[in-house]
Structure 1
């Protein structure tokens, strides 16, 4: 028998609202909240952008995988970095006791929300455009998601409500909200 899925893990592009919605969901569900980007920074002692600038995007992904695989929590909303889905090992670890929610937004919305993505600590190949990154990641987000919530033209509260409804009604395990 599999363990209950009592965490909600948010995945999606930078700017999709993972951190902001994570806080709202945690409040609504009386859950704890963790932002794995902050765990990575705490673990490494540097900002995400500093890791990318100094050691490259592969280093950021390695640190991210290590942090995610060492994360053992229950009753949490977990906002992941946009590149979490590059590690099958990390995603399988998270899936063991979590509902994975993909916050799906358009490339246009990503551009509007993040502005100059060179300052965001985004894990991408140096020659990779934002459009290429978006296309590459979209397939990974879809692959790992238990639930897909479209965040286009909706308020944060509307998206939060959709996630709560999906988490309570999904066959993979209802959360106690």
Structure 2
């Protein structure tokens, strides 16, 4: 693996935590490329995330998501992942090898306030599973895979970007 590949920044976290929004601004500030892995999935499958989940089921969606994320090759890129990327160990191992994984952490209450209809958003949620269940299930995975944890609670976008840059410079 070349040193350049380690220059990527991979954003993980719950749906609604701001991965895509923060990612675009962070990429602009750093002169990096921006990649949204959810969009890569939709391009590959020629369907919306919600359509893939509805037509194929969650297990197949998780497989597709892992395949796409495990195949990302980039240099000097900010990569915003889907919230369920942490269910794919191969994808997470690959992402950790090509860059620094940054977990954008928000409280359950803040996530609940930000999210609307989970199904319409293409959120990978099992039947009968609540947002609270999903949050409690994923938090340990985000913490496990993250190189850096950023508390984005009650922060302006520009402040979150600034904190990420400062933390990355300290590595």
Aligned pairs, number: 170
Report what 1:35 is aligned to.
36
CA, structure 1 residues 32+2, in 2 after alignment: closer, same or farther (shift >3 Å)? closer
- Give the aligned CA root-mean-square deviation in angstroms: 1.2
Q: Within 5 A, what are the aligned runs for 1:91-170?
A: 91-170=92-171
Shift of 1:118: 2.2
Q: State yes or no: 1:74 paired with 2:75.
A: yes
After TM superposition, where is structure 1 displaced by more than 3 Å over at least 4 residues in a row? Answer: 1-4
* C-alpha distance in structure 2 between counterparts of 1:12 and 1:74, whole Å: 22
Q: Structure 2: how far apart are the matches of 1:130 and 1:160?
A: 26
**Residues 29-66 of structure 1 deviation map (CA, whole Å, 9 limit, x = unaligned):** 00000000000000001000001111111121111111
Distance 1:151 1:102 in 2: 9
For residues 130 and 114 of structure 2, what CA distance do their matches in structure 1 show?
16
CA distance in structure 2 between the aligned counterparts of 1:45 and 1:102, rounded to whole angstroms: 28
1:64 alignment partner in structure 2: 65
Higher deviation after alignment, 120-129 or 147-156: 120-129
Provide the rounded CA distance (Å) in 2 between the counterparts of 1:57 and 1:20.
25
Structure 2 distance, partners of 1:96, 1:8, is 11
SS in 1 for 2:103: strand
Shift of 1:115: 1.6
Secondary structure at 1:20's aligned position in 2? helix
Local SS of the residue matching 1:77: strand
Secondary structure of residue in 1 paired with 2:143: helix
Contact 1:10–1:103 under 8 Å retained in 2: yes
Q: CA deviation at 1:117?
A: 1.4
For normalisation by structure 1, the TM-score amounts to: 0.93
Q: Which protein has the bigger helix share?
A: 2
Long gaps (5+) in structure 2: none
Residue 53 of structure 2 is aligned to residue 52 of structure 1: yes
CA distance in 1, matches of 2:12, 2:160: 14
**SS of residue paired to 1:96:** helix
Alpha carbons 1:100, 1:144 under 8 Å: kept: yes
